[in-house]
Amino acid sequence: MIVDRKMRWRAYLRFARPQLSVMFVYAAVITGLDVEGFRVSVPIAVPALLGTAISIALGFRTNSAYDRWWEARKIWGAIVNDSRTFTRHVLTLLGGADDASAAVCREMVYRQIAWVKALARSLRGQDPLEGLGPLLAQDEMARLRDVDNCANAILHNQAAQLRRAHDAGMVSEILMLPITESIQRLTDSMGMCERIKKTVFPVQYSQLVMKSVWLFYLLLPLGLAPYLDWLTLPVAFTVGFVFVALEYLGHYLEDPFEDRPSDVSITSIAATIEIDLRQMLGESEVPPRPEPVDGILM
């Protein structure tokens, strides 16, 4: 996630250099041909009307893409809150003075940290079990290697652990309820993340908008050249840059879990949750809080 409040134009230009180069060269060629008398033009009303229609479609696409991005951020905000609530319930309702209760509490809190990390990594298309060795028992790690949905299996293990604690007399049926509700909310958040991840933004609409933007840019210099001469180059390039930039912005916002600078910073959020939960356990040695690198927090 880009957290720098200043627009890093140099980084954007480096990323979009091929597209911007093509735009600049095309506008320069059309402008040069017009100045030399080889006029190939279209009525200015054509790109004007097309640009108006594209503006409406582009605005809808950008808003829809941002809604997906913002929903993903709200879901992970809920995961932060529910992880803290789950840990607080485990430590206060399940924890006891004996060593057995303390061990069970620590195991469940560590499993919650493992769940957050596994979910974040699976959403980014990475190995969900990487880095979970210090948090989970070896036999549990072995079982997780045989399942398709690692995060879901971890939550199932949480519920099973809670049932065993109840059967051992560590927690009553009534006190189990808030812990179970926390697990349910975490399951709901996981399902919402998977819905965003697996539901592709309508490809037909995206392709139509993208091709329409480039068609608009092909026509724009042809419509401006008879009126602006050499000014066609900077004007066409600037207007075209705005349309193309908005189209690419929507493209990157519509998939918020792809491990790109524009994505929701779920890796950093998972690290923050780990720090909070370890400190709730009373641990003093915790990982450092994630810091932005070049204005980007992953």
Residue 107 lies in a domain: yes
Residue 274 placed within a domain: yes
- Residue range of the domain that includes 181: 26-280
pLDDT at 6: 61
**21 lies in some domain:** no
Q: According to the model, what pLDDT value does residue 292 have?
A: 64
Can you give the pLDDT at residue 132?
85
Handedness of CA 128, 133, 136, 139 (dihedral sign): positive
- Within a domain: 285: no
Classify residue 154: in a domain, yes or no.
yes
206 falls within a domain: yes
Question: What would the two tokens of residue 249 be?
Answer: 């912005």
- Please give the C-alpha separations between residue 60 and each of 53, 202, 247, 264, in angstroms, as whole numbers: 11, 13, 11, 21
Neighbouring residues of 282: CB distance < 8 A, sequence distance ≥ 6? none
What is the Cα–Cα distance from 8 to 261, expressed in whole angstroms?
A: 12
Question: Could you give the CA distance from residue 64 to residue 249 in angstroms, rounded to a whole number?
Answer: 11
Q: What parts of the chain have a pLDDT lower than 70?
A: 1-17, 33-41, 95-97, 292-298
Q: Quick one: which H or E segment has residue 273? A: helix 266-280
Residue 155 falls inside a structural domain: yes
Structural domain includes residue 19: no
* pLDDT at residue number 54: 84
- What pLDDT, on a 0 to 100 scale, did the predictor assign at position 184? 94
Sign of CA dihedral 54, 57, 63, 67: negative
For the chain, how many structural domains are there in total? Answer: 1
Q: How far is CA 242 from the centre of its chain?
A: 23
pLDDT for the residue 17 = 65
Contact between residue 249 and residue 62 where contact means Cβ atoms under 8 Å apart: yes
The pLDDT, as a whole number, for residue 38 is 60
CA pair distance 157, 79, nearest whole angstrom: 18
Nearest in space to 225 (alpha carbons), one of 12, 5, 32, 22: 32
Q: What is the CA radius of gyration of the chain?
A: 27
**CA–CA gap between residue 143 and residue 145 (Å, rounded):** 5
